[in-house]
């Protein structure tokens, strides 16, 4: 049975085979921006919880969930496509907002990486 490190290495080698170096660079930018936004979202979530702002907490929890989908270290084309499709299928304004915000901040687009 594979341990975590072995699985991550397998995913990295699969990603290296299916993505061009430019795609890998764009994926790294997108993931880095998603992680930055995730850290800020978690900090805002803790603040909203302490202020007992239930609407803000619900929004930030959704946002955190979608950002976690975009921060998947074990990215392969199929995993990334699956995570994006899951987000888009939900017809969630929060999911759309998160995708656009990450793409804008990174200066790269998920759909270009998945071509």
Domains in the chain: boundaries: 4-113
Whole-number pLDDT of residue 90:
86
pTM (two decimals): 0.78
pLDDT confidence tier of residue 22, bands split at 50, 70 and 90: confident
More confident residue, 41 or 9: 41
DSSP conformation letters of the chain: ---HHHHHHHHHHHHHHHS-HHHHHHHHHHHHHHHHHHHHHHHHHHHHHHTT-HHHHHHHHHHHHHHHHHT-SS--HHHHHHHHHHHHHTT-HHHHHHHHHHHHHHT--HHHHT-
Whether the CB-CB separation of 103 and 30 falls below 8 Å is answered with yes
> What local confidence, expressed as pLDDT, does residue 36 receive?
95
């Amino acid at each position: 049975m594979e341990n975590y490190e072995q699985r991550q290495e397998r995913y990295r080698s699969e990603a290296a085979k299916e993505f061009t170096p430019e795609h890998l660079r764009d994926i790294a930018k997108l993931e880095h921006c998603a992680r930055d936004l995730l850290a800020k979202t978690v900090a805002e979530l803790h603040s909203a919880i302490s202020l007992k702002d239930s609407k803000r907490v619900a929004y930030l929890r959704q946002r955190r969930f979608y950002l976690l989908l975009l921060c998947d270290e074990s990215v392969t084309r199929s995993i990334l496509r699956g995570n994006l499709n899951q987000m888009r299928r939900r017809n969630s304004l929060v999911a759309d907002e998160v995708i656009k915000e990450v793409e804008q901040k990174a200066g790269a687009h998920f759909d270009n990486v998945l071509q």
